[in-house]
Amino acid sequence: MEESKSEGAAMAETGLTHECGVFGCVAAGEWPTRMDVAQVVCLGLIALQHRGQESAGIVTSEGTGKQNFNVHKGMGLISNIFNNDAMERLRGNLGIGHTRYSTAAASEVINCQPFVVHTAYGPLSLAHNGELVNARALRQQVHSRGVGLSTHSDSELITQTLCLDPPGGEGERPDWPGRIRHLMALTPLAYSLVIMDNDRIYGVRDPYGNRPLCLGKVLPEGADAASCQDVDVEAWVISSESCSFQSIGARFVREVLPGEIVELSRDGVSTLGVVDRPAGRPPAFCIFEFVYFSRPDSIYEGQTVYSVRKESGRMLWRESPVEADIVSSVPESGTAAAHGFARESGLPFTEVLCKNRYVGRTFIQPNTRLRKLGVAMKFGALSEEVAGKRIVLIDDSIVRGNTISPIIRLLRDAGAREVHIRVASPPLKHPCYMGINIPTKQELVANRLDSAQLAAHVGADSLEYLSVKGLVQAVRHGAKTKEENSGYCTACLTGDYPVRLDW
Amino acid sequence: MEESKSEGAAMAETGLTHECGVFGCVAAGEWPTRMDVAQVVCLGLIALQHRGQESAGIVTSEGTGKQNFNVHKGMGLISNIFNNDAMERLRGNLGIGHTRYSTAAASEVINCQPFVVHTAYGPLSLAHNGELVNARALRQQVHSRGVGLSTHSDSELITQTLCLDPPGGEGERPDWPGRIRHLMALTPLAYSLVIMDNDRIYGVRDPYGNRPLCLGKVLPEGADAASCQDVDVEAWVISSESCSFQSIGARFVREVLPGEIVELSRDGVSTLGVVDRPAGRPPAFCIFEFVYFSRPDSIYEGQTVYSVRKESGRMLWRESPVEADIVSSVPESGTAAAHGFARESGLPFTEVLCKNRYVGRTFIQPNTRLRKLGVAMKFGALSEEVAGKRIVLIDDSIVRGNTISPIIRLLRDAGAREVHIRVASPPLKHPCYMGINIPTKQELVANRLDSAQLAAHVGADSLEYLSVKGLVQAVRHGAKTKEENSGYCTACLTGDYPVRLDW
Amino acid sequence: MEESKSEGAAMAETGLTHECGVFGCVAAGEWPTRMDVAQVVCLGLIALQHRGQESAGIVTSEGTGKQNFNVHKGMGLISNIFNNDAMERLRGNLGIGHTRYSTAAASEVINCQPFVVHTAYGPLSLAHNGELVNARALRQQVHSRGVGLSTHSDSELITQTLCLDPPGGEGERPDWPGRIRHLMALTPLAYSLVIMDNDRIYGVRDPYGNRPLCLGKVLPEGADAASCQDVDVEAWVISSESCSFQSIGARFVREVLPGEIVELSRDGVSTLGVVDRPAGRPPAFCIFEFVYFSRPDSIYEGQTVYSVRKESGRMLWRESPVEADIVSSVPESGTAAAHGFARESGLPFTEVLCKNRYVGRTFIQPNTRLRKLGVAMKFGALSEEVAGKRIVLIDDSIVRGNTISPIIRLLRDAGAREVHIRVASPPLKHPCYMGINIPTKQELVANRLDSAQLAAHVGADSLEYLSVKGLVQAVRHGAKTKEENSGYCTACLTGDYPVRLDW
Amino acid sequence: MEESKSEGAAMAETGLTHECGVFGCVAAGEWPTRMDVAQVVCLGLIALQHRGQESAGIVTSEGTGKQNFNVHKGMGLISNIFNNDAMERLRGNLGIGHTRYSTAAASEVINCQPFVVHTAYGPLSLAHNGELVNARALRQQVHSRGVGLSTHSDSELITQTLCLDPPGGEGERPDWPGRIRHLMALTPLAYSLVIMDNDRIYGVRDPYGNRPLCLGKVLPEGADAASCQDVDVEAWVISSESCSFQSIGARFVREVLPGEIVELSRDGVSTLGVVDRPAGRPPAFCIFEFVYFSRPDSIYEGQTVYSVRKESGRMLWRESPVEADIVSSVPESGTAAAHGFARESGLPFTEVLCKNRYVGRTFIQPNTRLRKLGVAMKFGALSEEVAGKRIVLIDDSIVRGNTISPIIRLLRDAGAREVHIRVASPPLKHPCYMGINIPTKQELVANRLDSAQLAAHVGADSLEYLSVKGLVQAVRHGAKTKEENSGYCTACLTGDYPVRLDW
């Protein structure tokens, strides 16, 4: 067990990298309960594993005022980090967990979340999904109070900011909700937080609602959800995505509102207030949660992510139809949109590529000839489906544009007559400062080539993106929220950031 | 690095387990060549990883008469076993590799293949896919010659049998082909072998052709396959499945025939003979290679496995139609058949389940309540696709019958009106003695419940299997071989074994 | 790579555990130099490995104002933590390192030193040997300023205290020496510190000089130390013990004085001041550094630890002579004293026990019968040396008294006629609050049994300790410092602590 | 868990490497017993760890005719290989174990012993200490019978030779003792073997007795060895060295005779015969077991190895006296001889070097300057003992002569006036073909420099070796065997091999 860091971190080399997932659980009723909180958190995190595969951690509290937490963190996949030994040590009636994305650098145990800090009032633990747009200014502010920071992480920055008295603040026991409000005044986005005190968890979503956060409840086995009273609830859970509720047998309750602070305790869930945005500013929920990040079965605004993706495929056909024989997708990223495209166009959907699930991170460096094969190691063409066909291939997004070209070659080698690319999202052109790892402007192919040029570059017969308007329409199409209460961050597509970035 | 074994091995607890994959490569032309043989073998094995994830190994020879091989083996996934250091040590102009299935017991480095044996004539290496039906008798025969065996593996048994002079045989240099023919006379099936001598590789398929084996060639970059002469070939390759050729940029040449012995040397590929079956006995190619084991893009009898699966879905509709709104599958096993079923029936195909790719082997033992969730950890229902629908759910096969029930519950919880199960293969009722790890008769649900009883047991509105006849028709439908030259082992379905099992 | 902690840590189960070792190095002259600073630090730490085997770390700085450090830490022995990869990343012109003692709990990467903290003025790194007697009060003081602490370590506590402005302090660049003086005013002992700023290292020894710290210099190869000018120095080094200088080819310069702050920069070493003790209070150098902790070839007060131990053996004979045939020791702890005892008494020294160097931490739990053998696994009796002899066996110290008894039995089994125990230090009776892990009062056998009772308890014919006065005389015997400038902490023997412990 | 081998193995770079250790245990009386055989074997092996640190293994049998053994092997130190899980699986009433020496190459699990082979008569397991002088001829003989060998190890060669019927041999159950005698006729040396059948262990020592082997017995707790009848024995043990008996609480019974075959069963120990040497040939016990390999507390010919080493020091003084102030040794190898030298000469023994126990295999490659320090990393001079002194430094042997030179420099730097080297064994000049890894003739410094030249080369004031005659006298001095029944292999010193080496 060792770790090394060069603090000036290198960027990840892949496309978009997911960010993080947070999860929390408080057993309801009298403590100690028979509910195994650490297991619930662990299984909840496994359902959020697509949001980050670098490291994970769980912190539990017995909630008895005993001044310590139980902590287990590690590098790698959750299923490798948590074994029975760890689970047994993670006793507690409440707990929070975190799973973190993977970048080449800064992969160290010290940066694993949840972050634990010891304060005058006992331990506090925090897990964060997002990125503070004004982290630099906030760090200076903390430093100027004479406080050192042992990591570069926003989590430590947030906890130290919470510890430092808000101007004018004093007193015996800390007013954590007040301090959270103070923090929210200092930094507008982006954050979904779960914060654990001795005996309660605070869930916080930034005023713009940039990152998702939702509430669920665990009912007794065999309970009928409809008739069930809250008195029967076994545990309250809070999670980045609702997909994790299915996997622990919990029911989805609702999304946490933009700017809302909720408190989960053994007595239930209550709202401690909602922090407003500046007048006239709409919410700015990351639209790429629909396009790419979230699991298809997660629910936002009353609809599954899957149905939005399918709708974006329908919209894509309407905007950019093409004469073809079959519709297909790059597995598994564009399949939902491809089904929508097929349904709307009437063209048959057919699988054309077979994916090798075992091509992982290989430690060998193939020679040039073999390296060129690249994608062929990952996919095999289903020759009989492809031979002689005009194919529309749907992808969810194009970042660097270097994976689509060998796929097209593979299909042409297998006898495809035409290959038309349709991308179920608009061109990616701008960096994200709110938690998504997007390559530099230079590396984003859409800043160098328009769609016609890109088609020529990758060897496609045609290539079209979905428009921003079309994407928003696809999102709104099935949304159960009123239009005036929702809004999306499309900064990476439009350059229109939710707040000014001149900190 | 350590290993432990209780030699009385426990059976694996999962359903069917894949068997093994073998691969070989000989660089053509003058040696030493610039072809990196070990890398070709490694990437070829990665494409066969679905055939075994327990362990893997590569053995290379420089082919110069120097009396040693380079060997690297290990437990786990290929991408973790082979790093640059290992690759550098695996110098050579020819090499063979093996990837092995996973069972709980007998997981040890000593059983990793390829097996290497030192003989009077230098080292010999061998990799085996299959299982000798008369292993016990053959072991006794070897023992009775005063030879001990250091493992329980067929590979060692085969190599020692090859070493022991065939009755009457004598001479300076061993007649390996003659000894291989002798071996084939001693044991009828099941084996696909790659055997490496100092400077050549023998590929052997048992007379019944029970396990697959096929030939390919690596052409120079940019070569036009059609016009290319064999003089230009860079390397000859031999593999369990043709899918591995795509991933190394090689061309599929043909399948090795049942009973055929081929020799791969720097000078090309030649047939050293074909061993006959007893008069009137047809080949017995494992039909489950089509149903379950092989990768969809692999080619047998001139057709992709994918197209056979799709055809079996069409046949399934014809045999067991049902009134429904949508057709779907348990990802990813039944998808090809589901597409065939949808096309034939005219019903729309829709995804209804989302799979969590990160639910692997978890080391925690959840409490009863959470364990019951089981499959819910692995799948999430796509509620909007399911609500109010009559669903036909296609699965490729049913072994123990314990995974389908919680999936149906998940779908009903998400609002499915009806759930009809259609299984794209016949009921599994008999053990396999030819290399597939099938549960005991007791555990095979088809020996306890008929389809109506099973429907009730798992909570389906109906459940039907494909017939044996229907499956064979689906396989024959697109086959490019003449019917009289092909034949399938359906023993696990019918109890009709290719040879008498009274050894 | 993972870690788990139960924050309420369990105590170590062994006897006295060593504390920690610190090391620092600044390359002299123009930067960048060809001096490989990280390697010097690493080899220096290896020579301090006896002071802690749990974890180690190195932090380097290029000293160019670039605002980051290179960090590598890990669990286990230094030789396993630092490989060539790590060394290459640890570029720099100056660096500090730390090796840490082993306890069962709190073994985590997060607690590895050196601690790195980011401040308004750039990164600061610190390594600490010792324990703050008023840590609790100091933590409260830090907490009351609104600062959270992410670990329970003194290192973080000290760095945060250094960061927080001293009352009245202000300004652009921090006056680290001033802040260090402020820290020293807040906490009297026990600490030897190496603190690294961007381009210099501060060495600090607490006013009582409780923990050792000394200075050395690396001369060019072949340099004659005597004639050498400081202008020729290649690097300045600072270390817990002078033994580390031999192992990197450096020359011992002098000990850092109690209360002294030294600064090591590329320009040389200078004293920034010496903080006084309260009037009349003598230094309190831990006398167990002589008895047990330090390596025999380390030098304090102008004499080797080895010669002090030998002298303590002479003193022991004078205080407690005994009629016997041979003098021996428990290898390897009491050998120096045994040689002194033999020389003073005229009795021959003979080895009587042979040590198995490979009995380490075994992971098997032997059954009762084998567990009773215990010490016999570790030692074998040299029967011919023992048979029929009256033996005086010298041990350096007795803590729990449970290892001496089976050794005596082993000797008697081998034919020893009499076994007399002589302990080269006084009875251990009191806890240490200054960095040594001493068992509880209950566990210290000297609190339960006097020497006669203990002799009976362990089966010795007689057992005598060295007196406190005798030990101090042995230490003073060869000391090159004036008596009025030296003084020793004998708290664990006498209960007489250097400061009041009522924080 | 993986392994790689280049079969043409590199030689180890160190001096002499130890060979191997073997151990066996059979529980006496009715089976199953409460004796934990695997633990006894494991602890026995730990006491033999100095004979090999590369890998180890244990094989147990329940002795009930159930046709399998329990096996656990691994790379590294015994304490890391065997944990409680492994111990639990190693059920059995009898078992054998092996610990193996370390060389850079051929470090693989496949070569770990004990070797297990499955025969017509059930499993057989074998552990071997030594090296067959005619291995090549024996391999050809086995190969010519049509038997392949899967390793290059003598162990497999021996087991296969045992399996192959001896000419004329036939029958139902194998006559293992007869086959062992046949083996002994085929190969004269060097081997000490423990061979386990289903329910008994055979111990075999080659006719020349080149490698040690001895018998012991475990008595009930509290038993008086003298009065104890064999009926009370709890277990019989057999081991390379008697030091292992102390560590498991067993009593030394006797050495196995040269050429003797002993059988250990639940009923006791019996001799199955003693194979003679050619007429007039004396035994050839490796004299380096006394000089270097064995643990000091092991007993051969009725005397401890320690006492022989001490006697060789006395002899050394008589042969090569020198005027000096103190006698010392390089810890820990020459200490026993140094004590003998001191006693005989009347000069005082003083320690002059302090050893860093933590300098292990470092993974960093120091730059030239630091590499030159080499030995200084490992030793520190005890300056006060050395300054102004004329030192006689005793070493046990000199192989390459490259470690003594930096030690002399270290002593001179610390103020030594003169340094005289005395080596307690004769010059090493010839290779060993009987199990010891000795560098090539070129590398043995004694083949290049005589003692005067070597003294100059290493910077000593004088350097003398013990004569061969003196060494043999030292060995004979305390031996309890009659001179005509003992004899020593001194081939590495004299070139006089026990048998002709023209195979």
pLDDT tens for each residue of D318-358? 999 999 999 999 887 899 999 999 999 999 999 999 988 88
Q: Provide the whole-model pTM.
A: 0.87
Q: What is the pLDDT of residue D267?
A: 92
pLDDT exceeds cutoff 80 at A438 = no
Provide CB contacts within 8 A for C111, sequence distance 6+.
C55, C100, C151, C152, C153
Task: Indicate whether B445 pLDDT > 60.
Answer: yes
Q: Are D385 and C306 in contact (CB under 8 A)?
A: yes
pLDDT band at A106 (very low <50, low <70, confident <90, very high): very low
Q: Are strands A390-395 and A326-329 parallel, antiparallel or unpaired?
A: parallel
DSSP string for residues in D191-228: EEEEEE-SS-EEEEE-TT--S--EEEEEPPTT--TTT-
| Among candidate residues C205, C158, C207, C203, the one with its CA nearest the CA of residue C183 | C158
* Sign of the four-CA dihedral B137, B140, B145, B149: positive
pLDDT at residue D5, as a whole number: 39
Indicate the pLDDT class of residue C9, thresholds 50, 70 and 90.
very low
pLDDT value, residue A197 = 93
Query: At C5, is the pLDDT very low, low, confident or very high (cuts 50, 70, 90)?
Result: very low
Mean pLDDT, residues B436-461 taken together = 91
Residues in chain B with CB shorter than 8 Å from the CB of A364 are: 39, 42, 82-84, 86-87
List pLDDT tens digits, range B377-387: 788 999 999 99
Contact call for C380 and D351, based on CB within 8 A? no
Would you call A20 a catalytic residue per the annotation? yes
Note the pLDDT of residue A112: 82
Instruction: Please tell me the predicted confidence (pLDDT) of residue B104.
Output: 36
Per-residue confidence (pLDDT) for residue D26, from 0 to 100: 97
Q: Tokens 């890391």, residue?
A: D80
Q: Which residue has the higher pLDDT, C135 or A485?
A: C135
Phi and psi at B70, nearest 5°, equal: -100, 135
Inter-chain touch B351–A364, beta carbons under 8 Å: no
Cβ contact, residue pair B1, D2, below 8 Å: yes
pLDDT at D390: 98
Phi, psi of D174 (to 5 degrees): -75, 145
Contact B43 A384 (CB under 8 A): no
At residue A8, does pLDDT exceed 50?
no
- pLDDT of B170 strictly over 60: no
Interchain contact, B159 vs D148, CB within 8 Å: yes
Handedness of CA A195, A197, A202, A206 (dihedral sign): negative
Is pLDDT at C431 greater than 60 in this prediction?
Answer: yes
Q: Residue B501's pLDDT is what?
A: 79
Residue D242 has pLDDT above 90, yes or no: yes
Higher pLDDT, A357 or D453: D453
Residue A361 predicted with pLDDT over 60: no
pLDDT in the model for residue B483: 85
Alpha carbon C98 to chain centroid, angstroms: 11
State whether residue D7 sits within 8 Å of chain B by CB: yes
- Tell me how crowded residue A320 is: count the other CB atoms within 10 A of its CB: 20
Short-list C4, C6, C2, C74, CA closest to C42:
C74
Reduced to 3 states (helix: H, G, I; strand: E, B; else coil), residue C91 is: coil
Q: How far apart are CA C393 and CA B330, in angstroms?
A: 76
Per-residue model confidence as pLDDT tens digits over B109-128: 667 889 999 998 889 999 99
- Residue D455 pLDDT level (bands cut at 50, 70, 90): very high
- Per-residue pLDDT, averaged over D32-57, amounts to 90
- Is B361 part of the contact surface with chain A (CB cutoff 8 Å)? yes
Residue with tokens 């730097």: D413
Between C441 and B109, the higher pLDDT residue: C441
C162 SS3 class: helix
The dihedral through the CA atoms of D332, D334, D340, D343 has a sign that is negative
- Give the whole-angstrom CA distance, residue B364 versus residue D194: 42
Cα–Cα dist A95/A82, whole Å: 14
pLDDT at D480: 92
- The pLDDT of residue C6 is 33
Task: For residue B79, give every residue at least 6 positions away whose Cβ sits within 8 Å of its Cβ, in sequence order, or none.
Answer: A358, A359, A360, A361, A362, A363, B46
What average pLDDT does range A373-380 have in this prediction?
76
Contact A120 C144 (CB under 8 A): yes
Of B247, B358, B363, the CB nearest to A50: B358
Q: How do strand B326-329 and strand B390-395 relate by DSSP bridges? A: parallel
Name the residue type at position B172. Answer: E
User: Confidence band (pLDDT; 50, 70, 90) for A435?
Assistant: confident
Is a pLDDT exceeding 70 seen at residue A265? yes
> Is pLDDT at C289 greater than 60 in this prediction?
yes
Tokens of C88: 């290459």
- HEC letters along B27-88: ECCCCCCCCCHHHHHHHHHHCCHHHCCCEEEEEEECCCCCCCCEEEEEECCHHHHCEHHHHH
CB-CB contact of A424 with A337 (8 Å):
yes
Residue A102 predicted with pLDDT over 70: no
Q: Which two tokens stand for residue B462?
A: 């109906």
pLDDT in tens, A129-169: 999 999 999 999 999 889 999 888 899 999 999 998 765 44
Looking at residue D425, what is its pLDDT?
97
Rounded-to-integer distance, Cα C234 and Cα D370, Å: 13
pLDDT at D10: 27
pLDDT at C246: 87
Q: Would you list the DSSP string of B200-259?
A: -EEEEE-TT--S--EEEEEPPTT--TTT--GGG--EEEEES-THHHHHHTEEEEEEPPTT
How do residues D130-151 score in pLDDT, each as one tens digit? 999 999 999 999 998 899 998 8
**Looking at the predicted structure, is the pLDDT value of residue A75 above 90?**
no
- Phi and psi at A50, nearest 5°, equal -65, -15
Contacting residues for C321 by C-beta, under 8 A, at least 6 apart: C345
- How high is the pLDDT of residue C13? 31
Range of weakest confidence among B31-35, B333-337, C142-146: B31-35
Give me A391's structure tokens: 């194919």
Identify the helix (H) or strand (E) that includes residue D259.
Answer: none
Distance CA B148, CA B349 (A): 58
The ipTM estimated for the assembled molecules is 0.88
**Facing residue for D366 by CB, picked from C43, C335, C380:** C43
Burial of C480 from C-beta contacts in 10 A (0-12 / 13-18 / 19+): exposed
Q: What is the pLDDT of residue C112?
A: 82
Read off the pLDDT of residues B258-316 as tens digits, 9 standing for 90 and up: 999 999 999 999 999 999 999 889 999 999 999 999 999 999 999 999 999 999 999 99
Distance from CA of C166 to the nearest CA of A (A): 9
Which chain B residues touch D70 with a CB distance below 8 Å? 5-7
Taking CA atoms, B70 is separated from A362, B33, D156, in Å, by 21, 17, 20
pLDDT higher than 90, residue D32: no
**D485 part of contact set with chain B, CB < 8 Å:** no
Asked if D149 reaches chain C (Cβ–Cβ under 8 Å), the answer is no
Nearest CA in chain A to C70: A6
Share of chain D above pLDDT 70, in %: 87
Q: What confidence tier does C65 reach under pLDDT thresholds 50, 70, 90?
A: confident
Instruction: List residues of D with catalytic annotation.
Output: 20
The whole-angstrom distance between C478's CA and the closest CA on chain D is 10
Average pLDDT rounded to a whole number, residues B62-80 = 87
- Banded pLDDT at C8 (limits 50, 70, 90): very low
pLDDT band at B2, cuts 50/70/90?
very low
Helix (H, G, I), strand (E, B), or coil: what is residue A462?
Answer: strand
Q: Which of the four pLDDT bands, split at 50, 70 and 90, describes residue D106?
A: very low
Among A361-365, C71-75, D170-174, D299-303, which is the least confidently predicted range? A361-365
Grade residue C3 by pLDDT with cuts at 50, 70 and 90.
very low
Integer angstrom CA distances of residue D430 from D341, D427, D439, D488, D498: 27, 9, 9, 15, 13
| Predicted local distance difference test score (pLDDT) of residue C439 | 76
Residues in chain C: 503
Task: Name the residue among C34, C46, C177 with its Cα closest to residue C93.
Answer: C34
Band of the pLDDT at A92, cuts 50, 70, 90? very high
For residue B115, give both structure tokens.
Answer: 């097996």
H or E element that contains C315 = helix C305-319
Structure token digits, residue D353: 């070097």
Two structure tokens written together for B389: 């629908």
In 3D space, the residue among C399, C416, C396, C397 whose CA is nearest the CA of residue C408 turns out to be C416
According to the model, what pLDDT value does residue C501 have? 79
Over residues C439-446, mean pLDDT: 86
Average pLDDT over residues A414-432: 95
Residues D300-309 have pLDDT tens digits of 999 999 999 9
| pLDDT of res. A15 | 54
Element spanning A198, H or E: none
Alpha carbon of B453 to those of B412, B450, B462: distances in Å? 19, 5, 10
Q: What is the mean pLDDT of residues C59-64?
A: 93
Tens digits of residue pLDDT in C183-239: 999 999 999 999 999 999 999 999 999 999 999 999 877 665 555 566 688 999 999
Half-sphere exposure of D154 (CA within 13 A, CB side): 23
- A437 strand-pairing partners: A17
Of residues C54, C76, C69, the one with CA closest to residue C119: C69
* pLDDT average, residue stretch C308-318: 98
User: Is the peptide bond prior to B114 cis by the omega test (within 30 degrees of 0)?
Assistant: yes
Q: Per-residue pLDDT averaged across B46-63, rounded?
A: 92
Chain B neighbors of A80, CB-CB under 8 A: 363
Token pair in block for residue C327: 């003098």
DSSP E strand stretches across B316-472: 326-329, 353-355, 379-381, 390-395, 418-423, 462-465
Nearest CB neighbour to A73, from listed C2, C115, C156: C2
Tokens representing B15 are: 């359903």
Sign (positive or negative) of CA dihedral B42, B45, B47, B52: negative
Residue A16 has a pLDDT of 62
Nearest to A221 among B50, B53, B369 (CB): B369
- Per-residue pLDDT of A174-196, as tens digits, reads 789 999 999 999 999 999 999 99
All residues of chain D having their beta carbon less than 8 Å from the beta carbon of residue C248 are 370, 373
CB contact under 8 A, C124 and A71: no
Burial of D255 (0-12, 13-18, 19+ CB in 10 A): buried
* Per-residue confidence band for A103, with pLDDT thresholds at 50, 70 and 90: very low
Say if residue B190 is preceded by a cis peptide, omega within 30 of 0: yes
User: How large is the average pLDDT for residues B410-420?
Assistant: 95
List chains adjacent to chain C, taking adjacency as at least 3 C-beta pairs closer than 8 Å. A, D
Query: Any bridge partners for residue C327, and if so which?
Result: C349, C392
> How far apart are alpha carbons D44 and D36 in whole angstroms?
12
Q: Are B396 and B334 in contact (CB under 8 A)?
A: yes
Q: Of A474-488, B22-36, B323-337, C94-108, which gets the smallest average pLDDT?
A: C94-108
Q: How confident is the model at residue D127 (pLDDT cuts 50, 70, 90)?
A: very high
Model pLDDT, residue C363? 54
Q: Do strands B191-196 and B268-274 pair parallel, antiparallel, or not at all (unpaired)?
A: unpaired
- Number of residues assigned to chain B: 503
Is residue C369 very low, low, confident or very high in pLDDT (cuts 50, 70, 90)?
low
Which residues on chain B are in Cβ contact (under 8 Å) with A304?
A: 382-385
- The token pair at A63 is 């909630």
**Cβ–Cβ below 8 Å for A46 and B248:** no
